[in-house]
Amino acid sequence: MQETKRDEIVRSAFSTFYQKGFLATPVDAVLADTGISKRTLYKYFRTKEELVEAAVTYYRHAALASIADEIERRADDPRGRILAMFDIKSEAIAAGDFSGCFAINARLEYDGKEPGIEAACDGFFEDLETVITGLCAEGGAADPAALARQIVVLLEGAIVYGRFRRDPTVALAAREAARALLDRDFKATHSPNEA
């Protein structure tokens, strides 16, 4: 199925909001970036917030697919794949144009104001925890969900804090911490690692 006009708008709006924030970005900026008219935008979305919600849902699926893809390319055991997530973020921070986690950003700007947007962000968080829980189970952790939660805190912490410190080594420090937790919880048998 080819991309519809609506999809095109959402994808473009996502990158505009990602770079410039939500409240600080007028709808006109989205229009300018997409080359679309205001009339068309409001044909597909009743309000700006509805567009933001769609952008978060787009991020939920696109970012998770991209992460799954990338960590599979970088490592072939669950341990290496979890650690690869931190490498990816470290590299993004080093690249200089990193704007953090779209869901965290949206959640913060609309906190307590837009239930639909909050729910979309929650969906992303749940999917992320599910993916990491799966990897932890695969690695033989006794309590995969509990370990996954610790990994997620480290990952999101590295994203937010590393971004604001503008320091890629923050994500590497988080990676080391994650490694210590994996060493503690994963079954002793892990193939040669490191990257």
Partner DNA sequence: TTGTATGTAAACTGATCGGTTTACATCGCT
Partner DNA sequence: AGCGATGTAAACCGATCAGTTTACATACAA
33-41, 44-52, 88-96, 147-155 -> range binding its own copies (CB under 8 A): 147-155
Cβ atoms of 174 and 165 within 8 Å: the answer is: no
- According to CB under 8 A, which one of 42, 63, 177, 190 is a site residue for its own copies? 177
Choice from 90, 155, 168, 186 touching its own copies (CB under 8 A):
155
56: amino acid identity, one letter: V
Q: How far is the CB of 18 from its own copies (least distance, A)?
A: 11
Give the separation between CA 177 and CA 85, rounded to whole angstroms.
Answer: 13
Should residue 27 be labelled a site residue for DNA when binding is judged by CB under 7 A?
Answer: yes
Site for its own copies contains 190 (CB under 8 A): no
58 binds its own copies (CB under 8 A): no
Q: How far is it, in rounded angstroms, from Cα 137 to Cα 131?
A: 10
**Smaller CB separation from its own copies, 9 or 121:** 121
Of the residues 12, 15, 40, 150, which one makes contact with DNA according to CB under 7 A: 40
Least Cβ distance, residue 114 to DNA (angstroms): 11
42 contributes a contact to its own copies by CB under 8 A: no
Confirm or reject binding of residue 114 to its own copies (CB under 8 A).
no
Contact assessment for residue 69 and residue 128, using Cβ atoms and an 8 Å cutoff: no
Closest CA to 169 of 100, 81, 115, 93: 93
* Terminal C-alpha separation, the chain: 38
> Which of its own copies, DNA, none interacts with 107 (beta carbon under 5 to 8 A by kind)?
its own copies
| DSSP H helical ranges for 110-165 | 115-138, 144-165
Which of 1, 24, 188, 195 binds its own copies (CB under 8 A)? It is 24
Of 25, 17, 24, 21, nearest in space to 55 by CA: 17
Q: Which is nearer to DNA, 114 or 156 (CB)?
A: 114
- State the virtual CA torsion across 22, 26, 31, 32 in degrees, nearest 10: -110
Dmax (CA) of the chain? 60
Site of interaction with its own copies (CB under 8 A): 21, 23-24, 99-100, 104-105, 107-109, 111, 113, 121-122, 125, 146, 149-150, 152-158, 160-162, 164-165, 170, 173-174, 176-177, 180-181, 184
